[in-house]
Amino acid sequence: MKPRITETLRGYDKKAFFNDLMAGIIVGIVALPLAIAFGIASGVTPEKGIITAIVAGFIISLLGGTKVQIGGPTGAFIVIIYGIVNNPEYGLQGLLIATLLAGIILVALGAFRLGTIIKFIPYPVVVGFTAGIALTIFTTQIGDILGLTQEAVSTTGEVLRVPLRTPGDFVGKWVAYAQNIGTLNVWNLAVALGSLAVILWSPRLLRNVPLLNKMPGSLLGILLGTLAVWLMREHFGIEGIDTIGDRFHIQSQLPSLAVPSLTFSLVQKLMPVAFTIAILGAIESLLSATVADGVISDRHDSNMELIAQGVANIVTPLFGGIPATGAIARTMTNINNGGRTPVAGLVHAVVLLLILLLLMPYAEYIPMASLAAVLVMVSYNMSGWRTVRGLLRNPKSDVAVLVTTFFLTVIFDLTIAIEVGLILACALFMKRIMETTEISVIRDEINPSDEADMKLQDEHLTIPRGCAVYEINGPYFFGIANKFDDLMANIGRHRPRVRIIRMRKVPFIDSTGIHNLQHLIEMNHEEGIHVILSGVTPKVHSQLEKAGFYALMDSNHICPHIDIALQKAREFLGEAQ
């Protein structure tokens, strides 16, 4: 495992650098409003979002397993971060610890080469919690879009109007919006809708205008929204439209390195949250890398990418940053503007650093309504409503997983949603496997043309009286291990003297299946019934041998073909060959 930058810098020339330079500058400009919006929506200060984009973006590009991945804060983490920061027991310190722990988990996943396992998470689970996050992000922005306020008493006893503070839960937020809808600010709503219209329509209207066609709609919407609010305040005396400066004081510098204090009890409490952050970060980064591979005809290294994501999430909280991962939108922007090596990602981080040091004081004039419009577009793009609509036509079991994960994400939290979604998906998967595995009883004769594991080409393979043949078709695992007991219990009072278990179509057997088979043979031996195994595949044979299964049986009870097994059964029954 090596970072892709070591490979791409071989033969690197001026033309490649110029392409990466231009792509990096454009991606840095695109990332600026998103980083600010994600920071504020997560319950932290705007510069923490930018610091995350700088530090994590630089590390992910430097160490990552992809050529074009752009890392930074994303909307997927907003719900988790907000919940931790606003929990009195954890606060910002708890967020930093959870992010650091998530980074360690990601590094471990990559170091043990478990990157491919993330790809096995069922698609309905991913779509369900992504759509749930999108709806939650949209819900958190309603107050800033409508400009809702509430009364508050200052330290001097003066009654003030302050931005509406809502409960952390989904239902509580909408109840608070309904109760305070009378404080709606029409001008604030106009700025939000105007910014949203610019974000939506500027790419189409300006696509043939030089320079402006390269400007992202989100940045243009924020710039025009800021200009509109400035004109309203300075020339028309319109107040009540909050800006970033009204709520935050932005520091135009990188914070000093600080290691959060760790306690064992706090680590224990935050481990489930850290695991959720790690899994979510791994899913989003590898999904982004896979999409990028398809566009540039490349193949990323999943394990190296996870290690890079892990290191980024270990280092970023030391500077006060929030969780980060690969961002699909910024990665595609990088590709579409000519970026083809990790140098573009490094340039994007440097551009954001320069903006933080030189231009951040001007960010205080950005209206919260314009940032809310940016996040509404983020939530819309995350929702994947077309994908959800398509999945609703799929089997009901997949729909159940999708809907359950979605509602648990919205009503409760993402940790519970992922856990329950995975458990439900696994249960449904086992049910489907159980349905594909069949155990049947053959009583009279075996059809030699039915893919038989036969050595002799007899026209008829008659089953002698006193013998029963059981055909197992499919995996023999814990989900179907008790089918034998149920099947034999329903056969009747007359038990056979010989039982042949035909295993030619058993691809694998697990510990429960082996234990069940051992118990079955022991019970039959106590009743004086011979058990013969027929057509055991090499893989299953190896598993049985390692488990010491054959200590229960003589070697002549194990036959490679069904015709030999039937001949052995006749010998046991005392019949002529």
Q: HSE, CB side, 13 Å, CA atoms: give it for residue 351.
A: 20
- 460 pLDDT above the threshold of 60: no
Instruction: State the Cα–Cα distance between residues 365 and 407, nearest whole angstrom.
Output: 37
Residues 6+ apart with CB under 8 A from 265: none
Mean pLDDT of the 137-154 span: 88
Q: What is the pLDDT of residues 510-559, one digit of tens each?
A: 888 888 888 888 888 888 888 999 988 889 988 888 888 888 887 778 88
Where does the pLDDT of residue 487 fall: very low under 50, low under 70, confident under 90, or very high at 90 and above?
Answer: low
- Using alpha carbons, select from 125, 118, 35 the residue that is nearest to residue 74: 35
Maximum average pLDDT range among 146-160, 218-232, 418-432, 452-466: 218-232
Interior/surface letters 356-371, b for 16+ CB within 10 angstroms, e for the rest: beeebeebbbbbbbbb
Fold of 438-573: Transcription Regulator spoIIAA (3.30.750)
The helix (H) or strand (E) run that includes residue 325 is strand 325-326
Helix (H), strand (E), coil (C) string for 182-251: HHCCHHHHHHHHHHHHHHHHHHHHCCCCCCHHHCCHHHHHHHHHHHHHHHHHHHCCCCCCCEHHHHCCCC
Residues 299/64, Cβ–Cβ less than 8 Å:
no
Helix axes 123-140, 170-179, angle to 10 degrees: 30
What DSSP designation does 253 have? Answer: S
Residue ranges covered by each domain of the chain = 16-147+184-427, 148-183, 438-573
- 31 pLDDT above the threshold of 80: yes
Residue type, 361: P
- 111 pLDDT above the threshold of 70: yes
Residue with the larger pLDDT of the pair 549 and 406 = 406
Q: Distances from the Cα of 301 to the Cαs of 119, 278, 305, in angstroms?
A: 13, 18, 6
- Using alpha carbons, select from 35, 60, 62 the residue that is nearest to residue 50: 35
DSSP output for 532-558: EEES--HHHHHHHHHTTGGGGS-GGGE
Residues 6+ apart with CB under 8 A from 553: 521, 531, 533
Burial of 27 (0-12, 13-18, 19+ CB in 10 A): buried
Instruction: Specify the pLDDT at position 489.
Output: 61
The answer to which of 2-16, 221-235, 453-467 has the lowest mean pLDDT is 453-467
- 48 pLDDT above the threshold of 90: yes
Mean pLDDT of the 483-500 span: 70
Residues 276/415, Cβ–Cβ less than 8 Å:
yes
- 104 pLDDT above the threshold of 70: yes
What DSSP designation does 566 have? Answer: H
- Using alpha carbons, select from 549, 490, 555, 496 the residue that is nearest to residue 522: 549
Instruction: State the Cα–Cα distance between residues 383 and 109, nearest whole angstrom.
Output: 28
- Using alpha carbons, select from 104, 101, 177 the residue that is nearest to residue 146: 177
Helix (H), strand (E), coil (C) string for 81-120: HHHHHCCCCCHHHHHHHHHHHHHHHHHHHHHCCCHHHHHH
The region, left, alpha or beta by phi > 0 then psi within -120 to 50, assigned to residue 249 is beta
The helix (H) or strand (E) run that includes residue 530 is strand 530-534
The region, left, alpha or beta by phi > 0 then psi within -120 to 50, assigned to residue 453 is beta
Instruction: Specify the pLDDT at position 485.
Output: 61
Q: What is the pLDDT of residues 269-298, one digit of tens each?
A: 999 999 999 999 999 899 889 889 988 989
Instruction: State the Cα–Cα distance between residues 412 and 407, nearest whole angstrom.
Output: 8
Q: What is the pLDDT of residues 167-210, one digit of tens each?
A: 878 899 999 999 999 999 999 999 999 999 999 998 888 888 88
Residues 55/114, Cβ–Cβ less than 8 Å:
no
- 109 pLDDT above the threshold of 90: yes
Q: Is 487 helix (H, G, I), strand (E, B) or coil?
A: helix
Structure tokens at 133: 């996050």
Instruction: State the Cα–Cα distance between residues 212 and 210, nearest whole angstrom.
Output: 6
Q: What is the pLDDT of residues 329-372, one digit of tens each?
A: 899 989 988 899 999 999 999 999 999 998 888 888 899 999 99
Bridge partners (DSSP) listed for residue 153: 159
- Using alpha carbons, select from 410, 416, 414, 415 the residue that is nearest to residue 171: 410
Angle 507-511-517 from CA coordinates, rounded to 5° = 80
| Mean pLDDT, all residues of the chain | 87
Residues 189/147, Cβ–Cβ less than 8 Å:
yes
Percent share of the chain, pLDDT over 90: 37
Q: What is the pLDDT of residues 370-405, one digit of tens each?
A: 999 998 998 898 888 898 999 888 888 889 999 999
- 429 pLDDT above the threshold of 50: yes
- 576 pLDDT above the threshold of 60: no
Instruction: State the Cα–Cα distance between residues 522 and 433, nearest whole angstrom.
Output: 27
Instruction: Specify the pLDDT at position 493.
Output: 56
Instruction: Specify the pLDDT at position 459.
Output: 46
Instruction: Specify the pLDDT at position 577.
Output: 45
Residue with the larger pLDDT of the pair 526 and 316 = 316
Give the distance between the most distant pair of CA atoms in the chain.
111
Residue type, 208: N
Give φ, ψ of 160 to 5 degrees.
Answer: -120, 160
Give φ, ψ of 227 to 5 degrees.
Answer: -65, -40
